[in-house]
Structure 1
Amino acid sequence: MLTVAVLISGSGSNLRALLEAASHPDFPARIVVVGADRDAEGLAHAEAFGIPSFTVPFRSFDNREAWGEELARQLDVWTPDLIVLSGLMRLLPAALVARYAPQIINTHPAYLPEFPGAHGVRDALAAGVTQTGASVIVVDDGVDSGPILAQERVPVQEDDTEHALHERIKPVERRLLIDVVRRVATGELVLTH
């Protein structure tokens, strides 16, 4: 059984979908802990499913590296086989990525390598494209630059707002994430740098 740690910053909608999938007896992975970089709303999902959680507040540390060291200490308690960044709005320090790579994956609301970074949906709208998408990648030490594990296109509608487009991308992200975790757990998908 693949053990998974999930790291969040916000409401945890992708986390919720993954918790629901993992609660089915035939799903080959179990979430063992949920961590956050702030007092995130999404921690309530972990509590609802009886999953332990921890918080490592970014602002409590002098720098990203010190924050990353404490995050690693918390993760090491659970020895997860896979770490899922699910709306974690912080770049992980290179030392933390190197420690766990390639066993860290991330979702992104764009069809990478198009529109990397924190504002993928906004950037797609600003570029005037007719389609964007969702991606699941292996985390490397760049910004949304790791190997692509799964992705799917999502059309942009003429009257789309950032919120409306993002709401259409989220279900695709969730489905892709659940499928990637399942495929990693069954050995169908092997993570590489």
Structure 2
Amino acid sequence: MGKRRVAILISGRGSNMASLIEAATAKNFPAEIVLVVSNIAGAGGLEKARAAGIETATVESKPFGKDREAFERALNDTLVAHNVQLVCLAGFLRLLTPWFVKQWDGRMLNIHPALLPSYRGLHTHERALADGVKIHGATVHFVVPEMDAGPIIMQGAVAVRDDDTPETLAARVLAVEHQIYPDALRLVASGSTRIEGGVCRTSANASPDDRLIAPAII
């Protein structure tokens, strides 16, 4: 099986996009990033992608107004024209219709800054701190029509500190995101995942030290 052809969809600076692009430069990585698409003209991530030698495209959502599916059909045409096999959402600020999700069922990944199914939606770090959770993190999942609800591919966690602010917590979670998104793409692109009954199963092993306890009592 050759390298899987991947498109990354962005709306902004594309920090997770950059981690995927960097990972895909490894010779043994089972996917290649062939296209970066933004729905907003001039998004910062486009320049980063071009600097890395990756083709970019802009399919603006604004001209389509409230006709979300018409925008998505134009976006889908662009993906199909580039023979894209997998799609990674990286700060793509659009709610996707069931039509588009169906086109990419089992082939579209997203990363969310929380340990799903907790804290779906926005402002995840603020909400986690308000609830006083001791462990927080990020999740890579397959995209389904319901927001932040698809089969979970990989998760990474951080301990929450008493003096954390949403900004400090977000920074540590972002570092985890940059680690798990490329690893999750590696699993999917290499054929190491399967979906059974709405749950993602993988042939990868759990972490050798599978405990994260917070706070630590020394």
TM norm structure 1: 0.94
SS in 1 for 2:137: strand
What is the match of residue 90 of structure 2?
A: 86
In 2, distance between residues paired with 1:15 and 1:97? Answer: 20
What is the match of residue 25 of structure 1?
A: 27
In 2, distance between residues paired with 1:50 and 1:87? Answer: 20
Select 2:124's aligned residue among 116, 120, 135.
Answer: 120
Residue 118 of structure 1 deviates from its aligned partner by 2.6
Q: Kindly provide the amino acid, as one letter, of the partner of residue 37 in structure 1.
A: N
In 2, distance between residues paired with 1:10 and 1:95? Answer: 24
In 2, distance between residues paired with 1:112 and 1:2? Answer: 27
8 Å contact from structure 1 (residues 103, 191) kept in 2:
no
Instruction: In structure 2, list runs of 5 or more residues that go unmatched.
Output: 199-218
Instruction: In structure 1, list runs of 5 or more residues that go unmatched.
Output: none
What is the match of residue 59 of structure 1?
A: 62
In 2, distance between residues paired with 1:161 and 1:28? Answer: 37
What is the match of residue 158 of structure 1?
A: 162
In 1, distance between residues paired with 2:195 and 2:159? Answer: 29
In 2, distance between residues paired with 1:109 and 1:165? Answer: 10
Residue 191 of structure 1 deviates from its aligned partner by 5.2
In 2, distance between residues paired with 1:125 and 1:65? Answer: 36
Equivalences for residues 36-185 of structure 1 within 5 A: 36-38=38-40, 39-63=42-66, 64-185=68-189
Q: Kindly provide the amino acid, as one letter, of the partner of residue 26 in structure 1.
A: N
Percent of paired sites with the same residue: 40
Tell me the number of residue pairs that the alignment of Structure 1 and Structure 2 aligns.
193
Residue 69 of structure 1 deviates from its aligned partner by 1.5
In 1, distance between residues paired with 2:161 and 2:7? Answer: 35
Q: Kindly provide the amino acid, as one letter, of the partner of residue 58 in structure 1.
A: S
In 2, distance between residues paired with 1:12 and 1:43? Answer: 8
In 2, distance between residues paired with 1:97 and 1:113? Answer: 19
In 2, distance between residues paired with 1:122 and 1:141? Answer: 25
Residue 133 of structure 1 deviates from its aligned partner by 0.8
Alignment deviations for residues 22-73 of structure 1 (CA, whole Å, 9 cap, x no partner): 1122212100100112131111121111111111222221222222111111
In 2, distance between residues paired with 1:47 and 1:22? Answer: 15
SS in 1 for 2:119: coil
Q: Kindly provide the amino acid, as one letter, of the partner of residue 44 in structure 1.
A: E
Larger C-alpha radius of gyration, 1 or 2? Answer: 2
What's the RMSD between the two structures over aligned residues?
A: 1.4
Matched, 1:9 2:11: yes
In 1, distance between residues paired with 2:14 and 2:195? Answer: 24
8 Å contact from structure 1 (residues 138, 191) kept in 2:
no
8 Å contact from structure 1 (residues 184, 191) kept in 2:
no
TM norm structure 2: 0.84
